[in-house]
Amino acid sequence: MYRYVKGLPIALVVVALIAGCSSSEPTSPPVDTSLEIKGSVTRQRAEDVGNVEVWLDSSLSITIKPDATYSFANVAAGTHHVEVRAGFPIDMEPSMRSVVVGTSDVTNVDFVVALKASAMDTLITATTVPGTFQMGCDSSDLFADIYWATPKHTVTITKSLEVAIYETTQRQWMRVMKQNPSLVVGDDLPVTNLTYDSVIAFCNRMSVVHGYVPVYIGSGASVQISPTANGYRLPTEAEWEYVASAGSTTAFSGIPDTVVGRPIERIFDDVNEIAWWGNNLGGVNTGKPQPVGSRRQNAWGLYDVHGNVAEIVEGARTKYTKTPTTDPLVLPYKDGPGIRGGSYMEVQGAPWLITLRGRRTIRFNDAYPFVGFRVVRTR
């Protein structure tokens, strides 16, 4: 309780009392805000996981590349939270760290990051068994690719394969490669507008993410394919035709060739059920890629082996002979890889391009809006 002192103004008495009280209290030292928190973010595996953000107390952030260091300056003493975030699913060890800052810098606040493998990444796959089939066609066959796909010959596939039932989607591509080259954009559309080297880079990265040994060494015409690696890759031409035909011996998988009393137009009606192509998309100049898996699958469960986008296959295109072959793969390349299956651009005026046998090539460094790919893996 304050007591009035005769002869002194009340205001002076109060000031004196307050001053007296404050003089007996200890003075707090100034807060040191010149300290640092330092550490590193490294990759758990060899894949490129892109840039990540390191956050301090959920507010201040910096962006770095994995296998790099970071530091926060001018940090006050006390307890802080350091966290690594990314715009894509990641496995983190740990995900957040609590850091107590005292009178000196705190170092070695380290994190390990890797892409999180998910069923969405790659693929629902179908498993095929070894077998023998007739590859190519004879000149008398319906819709024969007379120059490049003749003569018909016996091919043996000796290894079981896991085959993606869908063409690789933009969603799958973006989780690994981070940039979408496609001109028509949509998560469930096939990724397109790709160079050969970008496709094999995707395959190698997906292999690492899923714990497999990458297949490809080098790039372009000098690429080497490891025969013992178990990672993702493009199918060879023979493997593609084997799994796309799924036991069918006709021009289109699961569709009979012309028979007596069955007009050829009926075949094109049937093709509309299994393929997106110019006939059901308005013509050669009006079509565009469609969501994968939206036409009927073949007998082995694969979608879009005809139409939608043409699929890149492995191996140089050479003329066939009648000699039986086993697991054929023609390397090194001279021009570029092949493409199979045709695309949304094909029309019935050139139907051989969308058949099981039609063969074309592309250049290594060119990208096309009608070309994509599907992956396989040797079991």
Q: Which residue has the higher pLDDT, 30 or 344?
A: 344
Say whether both 97 and 47 belong to one domain: yes
Say what the pLDDT of residue 87 is: 64
Share of the chain above pLDDT 70, in %: 85
Domain count, the chain: 2
Say what the pLDDT of residue 260 is: 60
Is residue 19 pLDDT above 50, yes or no? no
Q: Rounded to the nearest 10 degrees, what angle do helices 170-177 and 196-209 cross at?
A: 80
Say whether both 163 and 273 belong to one domain: yes
Full residue range of the structural domain in which residue 149 is found = 120-378
Say whether both 156 and 192 belong to one domain: yes
Mean pLDDT of 147-152: 92
Q: Is the pTM here over 0.75, yes or no?
A: no
Say whether both 157 and 145 belong to one domain: yes
Say whether both 168 and 312 belong to one domain: yes
- Would you place residue 335 in the very low, low, confident or very high pLDDT band (cuts 50, 70, 90)? confident
Say what the pLDDT of residue 3 is: 46
CATH code at 246?
Answer: 3.90.1580.10
How far is 248 from 25, CA to CA, in rounded Å?
94
Say what the pLDDT of residue 161 is: 94
Mean pLDDT of 260-279: 85
- Closest CA relative to residue 354, chosen from 161, 183, 149, 199: 149
Is residue 6 pLDDT above 80, yes or no? no
Which element (helix H / strand E) includes 81?
Answer: strand 78-85
